[in-house]
Each structure stands twice: as C-alpha cells, then as structure tokens.
Amino acid sequence: MATSRPRLALGLPVGESLYKADEQHRILELARAADDAGIDTLVQSDHVIMGERHDRYPWGRFPFPNGSPWLEPLTLLSVIAGATARVRLSTGILIAGLRRPTLLAKQAATLDALSGGRLELGVGTGWQPEEYETLDLDFDNRAQLLDDTITACRALWAPGPATVDLPTVRFEKIWCDPKPAQPNGPAILFSGPLTKRNLRRITELGDGWIPIMGETAENVATGAAAIRAAWAAAGRGDATPRVRHTLPLVRGDDGALDLDRTLAGAPALAETGATEVSVAISAFLSDSAEAVAWVTDLGQRWEKLWS
C-alpha cells in the first residue's frame, strides 16, 4: 500500500535567525510565498518573556541570546491570516497555561472565525519558570494549568453557555462568542513525551501529538500506535490522530544541509504515523533576501517528491 502523503509544515523563523529586529514585518512576504507555494501549515513558536537561565534549556545550547525578538504567536498568525488565503495557521508550541482560559478561548475563536477555520493550536507547558513566575503562576503546577486551560477552552467553544469547575479555573454560565468556524474549535495537538498524563490529554482533549524535539522514528511509531489504541478504547477508533514531527536534517556529500535529502525522509516518517512533517526555514537559510525564492523552491521540491 502506498504511503499516505503527509502535510508539509514550515517552521517560521524566530529571534533574528532570519529577519533582524527592525525587519520582522517581512515575515509576511514569507507567509504569502508559502500560501502561493502550496505549503500546508505555517508554525510559530512561543515565549512570552525570556529569563537569564538559558542553562535550563533541555535540548542543549539555547541558540537565541537575550534581546532576540519573540513575536507573540496569536498576534502574528492573525496578521498572517489577513495576508493569506489557504495556508493553515498553527502554534508549535503555545505555552497555553500562561494565558487565562477565557481570553485564550476568545482570541483563538476570533482568529479561527476570521481566517475561515484555518487555526490549530500546538500546546505545551514550556521549560522556563520565569514565564510562570512573572505572571504570578506556579511553575510546578504547569501541567494542571495546561489541562484546565484547554478543558475550559473546549467548553467555551461549544454551543451555548459554559460552566467549568476545575482546580485552576471556575466559571458558571459564561458565554464566549463568536464561536470558532471549526466545529468543536481548532484542532489541538499536545507536545512532549507520551507520558500517561499526555496520552490522557491527547485522548480526552486533543486531536493529536507533537513529539518532543529529536524523538526517534521508532518512538514516534510506538507513540502513534499507543494513541490509536487509546482512542479506540475511548470510542474514537474511526478518528486518525494528527502527528506532526520535524524531519531529520540530512547533509550532503559536501557537509552542507541538503533539502532534497531531508524531504526524502518524509515517506518513512509518514509510515510511523506522522500525518504532518515540518522543516524550519532558518535551518537552511540565513539571508532574508532569499526567503521568498527559497519557500517557492520548497513547494516545488515537495510536489516533485510526490509526483
């Protein structure tokens, strides 16, 4: 049986990895090019603030010095929505627990409605205590904050008034309108290792999973199978979990990153259960003047891979 073609997601540049602080607005050029090139999804990551303790970063050396601009994801995606027609708009990941649930539900529903149902939310807990502490939130309670925030958003996106009584948020007979364009609200993908708690989230509250950075194909396959089994046990057996994972970067014979060889890994990753593969433009490009041409070329190479 032929491998199903996954979606292609483009990780937008953060900090000054592609655009200098005074040219961040040019990311709209990149977004329009991606829309025209047939890229399926644009993904923006999140940090509300940055502390000094970069040594806490779990994945090695943190590549962005303090002073790097971090565009707020929902604001950026709202601007991109108005500049594009079809590309999906996603966070990857949004530290959802930093946002109060009623406000996050309102912002997401508004963006989804105005974009014609193009929003999805990749969410997680983040890794910086400072982001929670500056908002008077308990970093050690971040898992509960994530659970309660998404539970409340789901309730607020449903028809009629919402009532929730959770450890970190309570309200009764609250109306939050407009409702999202997508029934049940934007798709929600939970990030991180597939712990028992995360598997429960994905099963009860989510539409899919974003494996932790650097997760092996074997573990993605095992995790995707575990989600399918959990969904079947919960009565969701007909649904296909969304799984978005980053394509492993592959170098050519000259030692430089090779885009074609990297994209060629997509079918194998799809066989593990990944329904969407992502590449970050800043891994391949550092000259902002070449961004539009690079994205256009990416779309052509992607189509050629599947032709």
Q: Which domains does the chain have, with CATH numbers?
A: 7-306 (3.20.20.30)
Give SS3 for 100: coil
Q: Which helix (H) or strand (E) holds 229?
A: helix 217-233
User: Pick the residue with more confidence: 155 or 54?
Assistant: 155
Angle at 201 between CA 199 and CA 206, to 5 degrees: 105
- Positive or negative torsion for Cα 202, 203, 206, 209: positive
pTM to 2 decimal places = 0.95
* pLDDT bucket at 1, cuts 50 / 70 / 90: very low
Task: Determine the distance from the C-alpha atom of residue 40 to the mean position of all C-alpha atoms in its chain, rounded to a whole number.
Answer: 13
pLDDT of residue 104: 98
Q: Provide Rg for the chain, Cα atoms.
A: 19
- Amino acid, res. 90: S
* pLDDT bucket at 58, cuts 50 / 70 / 90: confident
pLDDT of residue 54: 84
Is the pLDDT at 101 greater than 50, yes or no? yes
Rounded to an integer, what distance in angstroms lies between the CA atom of residue 238 and that of residue 107?
30
The DSSP annotation for 121-160 comes to EEEE--S-HHHHHTTT--GGGHHHHHHHHHHHHHHHHSSS
Rounded to an integer, what distance in angstroms lies between the CA atom of residue 210 and that of residue 206?
11
Backbone angles phi, psi at 292, to 5 degrees: -65, -45
Q: Which helix (H) or strand (E) holds 298?
A: helix 291-306
Task: Determine the distance from the C-alpha atom of residue 41 to the mean position of all C-alpha atoms in its chain, rounded to a whole number.
Answer: 9
> What are the Cα distances from residue 222, in Å, to 218, 225, 227?
6, 5, 9
Tens of pLDDT, residue by residue over 230-278, are 999 999 988 899 999 999 999 999 989 999 999 999 999 999 999 999 9
pLDDT of residue 214: 87
Q: What is the mean pLDDT of the chain?
A: 95
Q: Which helix (H) or strand (E) holds 91?
A: strand 88-95
- Amino acid, res. 119: L
Rounded to an integer, what distance in angstroms lies between the CA atom of residue 130 and that of residue 127?
9
What the block records as the tokens of 153 is 């958003």
